[in-house]
Amino acid sequence: QNNVITFNRPFGQKISFELIEDSPTEKIFEQDSIKLSVDENSVSEIFWLTKIMGDYNINKIGDNFVFENGRRALILKRKEL
């Protein structure tokens, strides 16, 4: 709804993302500003999202998540509820 995707976590928690970009995968990863982020919180969020979303390659770039599936990718930015 209005470029916002919301997932319901166990125990009533919700997590929402705003759609930033929908592009071919190559276009997203060709950008000079792309720097993958790997920290403990990012890894746990990525595992959780992978479990819920299924067959997507998920990476974190700064505050944004990149969901890849084949030749398409989405950049989603986490929204505060």
What pLDDT, on the 0 to 100 scale, is given for residue 45? 81
- Name the residue among 39, 56, 40, 62 with its Cα closest to residue 5: 56
Q: How confident is residue 38, by pLDDT bands cut at 50, 70 and 90?
A: low
pLDDT averaged over every residue in the chain: 81
What pLDDT, on the 0 to 100 scale, is given for residue 19? 93
pTM above 0.75, yes or no: no
Q: What is the spatial distance between Cα 21 and Cα 27, in angstroms, rounded to a whole number?
A: 10
Q: pLDDT higher for 15 or 18?
A: 18
**Residue 31 neighbours by CB distance under 10 Å:** 12
Q: What angle do CA 34, 55, 25 make, to 5 degrees?
A: 30
What pLDDT, on the 0 to 100 scale, is given for residue 48? 81
Reduced to 3 states, what is the DSSP secondary structure of residue 33? coil
Q: Maximum distance among all alpha carbons in the chain?
A: 39
